Chains A and B, each alone.
Chain A
Amino acid sequence: MTPYLFVAITVSLTVVSQVLQKQVAMAVGTSPENVIVAYAKQLRLWVALALLGLAMIAWLAVLAKLQVSKAYTLLSINYALMVPVSKLVFAEDIPWTRWLGAFVITAGVVCISWS
């Protein structure tokens, strides 16, 4: 299988994990009585951590095939993807500079994937 499929799996798992982390952080709020207990009670936090573990396994499959100077920088597509995801999932107001940034990151990742 192509290593790029594993890059896609790594990035997808990370994006879903980050959405869950944000949901957990919003559910817990800024001043719970006991921070550790409040977080530990959140089932979604454990799912998010499990997804990160799976992402790490997929990531090792990527590193086995691709040069690290290429593979690691491809991961930055994660930053760009989180912009539309934040808009869709959390209805965040996104300044135009952030859309531009997502576009520039995507252009950079395209260059790296060609290299």
Chain B
Amino acid sequence: MAGRIRYYRRRGLYLMELKSKSGWLWLSVSVVLVSAAQLLLKFGIQQLPPDQGLAAYLEIIAPANIVPIALPIVLGLGGYVISVLCWIGTLARLPLSMAYPSLALSYLLVYAGAMVLPAFDEKGSAIRLGGILLVIAGVWLVSLQGKAPNDSH
């Protein structure tokens, strides 16, 4: 009897651990996809001629622009939608207090991507990087579980 209980307890812990491990996988995919989506959107839209007002957006679907502009934007939108689905999958497996701050890491990924990838001509700065680190710290604070009675909602 005691042996059976021990067996089921071990098995339960093993399943819980397995669930949270796959949770981190869902989370990683979500973070990478949401970051890639932003870079793709920017990559597409930055090829539009600047300062032409809202009418310029119609040029996104001009035949010559389908591959260089519309395609990365559509891929970006698709990546964003899939990342939201992965995020829902993450929430089913990990506590929000772990998942939420990790999502904020996408700010660092987008920053790094915009600095490193040759497609983007962006210059970093200490104040921008410092601001991003403050944001990540703040998101971590926001996600801390308080003692408030209805905090689980």
User: Which of B50, B106, B132, B147 has its CB near the most chain A CB atoms (within 10 A)?
Assistant: B132
Q: Does residue A79 face the partner (Cβ distance < 8 Å to B)? A: yes
Q: Which one of B73, B137, B149, B153 contacts A60 once the chains associate, using CB atoms below 8 Å? A: B73
The minimal Cβ–Cβ distance linking B58 to chain A, given in whole angstroms, is: 12
Q: Name the prevailing secondary structure of the A interface residues.
A: helix
Report how many residues on chain B are interfacial, defined by Cβ distance under 8 Å: 48
Q: Please name all residues of chain B whose beta carbon is closer than 8 Å to the beta carbon of A70 when the two chains form the complex.
A: 128
Q: Please name all residues of chain A whose beta carbon is closer than 8 Å to the beta carbon of B77 when the two chains form the complex.
A: 56
Q: 10 A-B pairs, CB-CB below 8 angstroms?
A: A60-B73, A65-B50, A68-B120, A72-B110, A79-B142, A92-B150, A93-B146, A105-B135, A111-B128, A111-B130
Q: Does residue B131 face the partner (Cβ distance < 8 Å to A)? A: yes
**Using a Cβ cutoff of 8 Å, how many contacts connect chains A and B?**
142
Task: Given A60-B41, A68-B42, A68-B114, check contact A102 B142 (CB 8 Å).
Answer: yes
Q: Which one of B132, B141, B148 contacts A112 once the chains associate, using CB atoms below 8 Å? A: B132
Binary A-proximity of B115-153 (CB < 8 A = 1, otherwise 0) = 100001010110110111111011111111111111101
Q: Please name all residues of chain A whose beta carbon is closer than 8 Å to the beta carbon of B122 when the two chains form the complex.
A: 67-69
